[in-house]
Structures are given as structure tokens and as C-alpha cells.
Amino acid sequence: MKDVVCFILAGGKGERLFPLTKSRPKPLLPYGGIFRLIDFPLSNCLNSGLHKVFIIGQYLSYHLLDYLNKYWVKENNIKYITPQQGGEIGCFKGTADAIYQNLKLIQEINPSYILILASDHIYRMDYRDFLMAHIEKEAELSIGVVEVPKEEAYRFGILETSLNGRVINFLEKPRYIMGKKRCLASMGIYIFNTDVLIKILYEDAHNLYSTHDFGKDIIPSMIKKYKVWTYNLDSYWRDVGTIDAYYEANMGLLREEPPFNLYDSSWPINTYLGQLPPSNVFSLTLNSLISPGCNIKGQVESSILGPGVFVEEGTRVSDSLLLEGVKIGKYCRIHRAIIDRGIEIENARKILGRPIFVVSEKKVEKKMPIFIREIRDKKLAKIG
């Protein structure tokens, strides 16, 4: 992989995940208690032998840089790029523009191939296999794809291919798909021949009608002129771009046979934890993931607790995600909730998600009525 430069796009706001992304960039959302979404593409790069990796940030970039500096940058020579560093313009216009503003860097390194990754998907992938398939097919652009039910097609870029896998059509988040029960969805990861990418980005930058986005502009413009192929990933891949998807992906880890194995030592997922003591568990805990530094005196069932969570006596937590540093008082009832980092819930509070509640206020007091958003129905619901 010496002739490959990798760019990880990590600048999006993650608006569909609000309020969880109000004060953190989407790539820093926790998964499985101790991991961050950005850990997955970075671990894939490390395990695939990639050593020229650049992360392009924008939204709340200082939070992402702070996290990366604690482990990834220092230990693995990962480099971080902001719009101010990458170009003269103060922000990126789109995903393609983020790469365009770094063409000078690409030309200085002069690799044969450019690997472009998203920063917010959960999966394991050996990018060496992806590159080998790209070379064998003599492709000029290869797109990583997964199969999804046609009912979910509206969330993704959908590709149509010939029998041998060459792309013949691309639809960006179509409202409806005729015929097939399953579709090929873009994973948002690409391998370009460098010379082709440079040419295409120059053309796109000077197109006044372009939104400078890979899905909306670059890929559709390349299909008829260039050799564009798919690469199918047949293992677990999850886009957690909505509250529901984020919650379900985490809860999937609690199954007896989870769809994604966090304990696969042959392809480890690295992360930064810092210095934390072991957890103290004084009461009944069933089918849950408990991160280091927790203190559990109440009952926890089918839940995931991030580092440093406190649950006091008499409290019952079920089917919930408690993120880093959450403190739950005595005699509370928490069910189907996502409690954001650092939230303090005072004694005798009840939060029952129907279907999911997200609590992001700094402190939930006993005498204070707190209103939070019920995600699916877009209604306001009161915490009792």
C-alpha cells in the first residue's frame, strides 16, 4: 500500500443525529461504550498497512483534533487537515471540494491511487483487497458497495451495474426503486486513479452548477466516460446517520451472537481510553456492556454504559445508552433512552422512551420539567 494515499472525510455536521452532534462532530460519537466512529476507518487503515493517511475535518474540528492527538496522530503518524490548511477558502463546499483543496498535497506525494473514506460507518475491511480488485479490473474508479433492502434505498447512493459489475447508472438517495427487493448501496468509499481524480476535480471546481459532491456530481459525471466498477463488501457494515440507526447499531452488540464482533483479535479496533480505574458493580447487571471507571449500585439490563458512568441504588436502567460521565440518581427508571455525556439525573426521575428519548440537557432535576424530543414522531414528551 506504499503507492496509496488515503483521505478520511470527517467534516460533516451529522444534523440527523442532533442533539448528539450539537457539541461534538459526528465521527466522535461513541459506539459500544469505549469506541468512537472514527476509530473504525482508522483501524482498517492501520490493519491494511496504510501509512499515508490524512483526516479532513471541518465541523467542530478542534474536538476531533484533540481526540486524534491523544492517540492516533502521535502513535500512528496520522495527519489532520482543516479548510484553512488545505486551501484559501475558509470552508469546504462539499466532499469533492475537500479533496480538491488538497490537490497540491496529492501532487507533492504523487501516488498512483487515492483511497477516500467516510468517517462514520461501522465495519471491518481490508483495503488491500479493495485495491487489488481495482487494479485487476483496470478500473479508473472503484466504489465500495453493500446490499440493502430497497426500502432503505432513500438513505444511500444506489448503483446499477452490468452483469460483470461495471457501473451503468447511479441514483443519489432515490425516493423509490422499482422491481428488485435489494439494491447496491454506495458505502461512501472510493479508489481513484490519481490522474483521473485530478482531472475530474479540476473540471468540477470550474462547474458553476456543481454542488462539489462525490455522490451528486462526481460519480454521475464519470459513469459514461470512465471505467467505474463496484467492490462488494459481504460482511457487516452499518451507517449510523440517524438516531434510530445509531441506537439499533449499539443495541445489536448485546445479542447472543452480535452481527459485529468487537473481540476479533485478528483485526483489532483501536481506540483511546485514557487512565481509568476498573468498574465497580455492586448489584444485578444483565446482558450489558460496562466500560471502565463505572460505579453501578442500581440494576442495569440490556444497556451500554460509557466510561465513568454512575448508577445509584434503587435505580433501574434498561435498553439504554448512557454515554461517558453520566450520573443517575437514586430510585430512577430509565428505559429506551440515550443519555448524553455528562448528564446528571437527580433522584426519582422517570425517562421512558417510546420509542427512543435523547436527553441532552446538562442536568435533569427532580422539580424541573424537562422536555425532550421523541425522534420518530417529532413530538415533545415530558419526563416524569
- What sign for the dihedral angle of Cα 129, 135, 141, 142? negative
Q: Which of 196, 177, 186, 204 is nearest to 96 (CA)?
A: 204
Domain 280-359 indexed as CATH 2.160.10.10: yes
Supply the pLDDT for residue 380.
Answer: 32
Domain ranges of the chain: 4-254, 280-359
Same CATH topology for 4-254 and 280-359: the answer is no
**Closest alpha carbon to 323 in 360, 281, 286, 282:** 360
Residues 6 or more apart whose CB falls under 8 angstroms from that of 12 comprise 25, 26, 58, 59, 120
The cell numbers describing 307, all together, are: 466510561
Question: Which residues, at least 6 apart from 159, have a Cβ–Cβ distance to it below 8 Å?
Answer: 143, 145, 167, 169, 170, 171, 184, 185, 186, 230
In the CATH scheme, what is the homologous superfamily, with its name and number, of domain 4-254?
Answer: Spore Coat Polysaccharide Biosynthesis Protein SpsA; Chain A (3.90.550.10)
User: 251: left (phi > 0), else alpha (psi -120 to 50), else beta?
Assistant: alpha
Q: Is 88 exposed, middle or buried (0-12, 13-18, 19+ CB in 10 A)?
A: exposed
How far is Cα 33 from Cα 290, in angstroms, rounded to an integer? Answer: 7
What pLDDT is attached to residue 362? 61
Residue 100: closest CA among 111, 86, 114: 86
Rounded to the nearest 5°, which phi and psi values hold at 132? -60, -40
Distance from CA of residue 128 to its chain's centroid? 21
Mean pLDDT by 10 residues, the chain (384 residues): 92 86 93 97 96 90 87 78 58 90 94 96 98 98 95 91 91 82 94 98 94 93 95 95 94 95 93 90 94 98 98 97 97 96 93 84 49 36 42
Nearest by Cα to 185 from 213, 219, 220, 150: 150
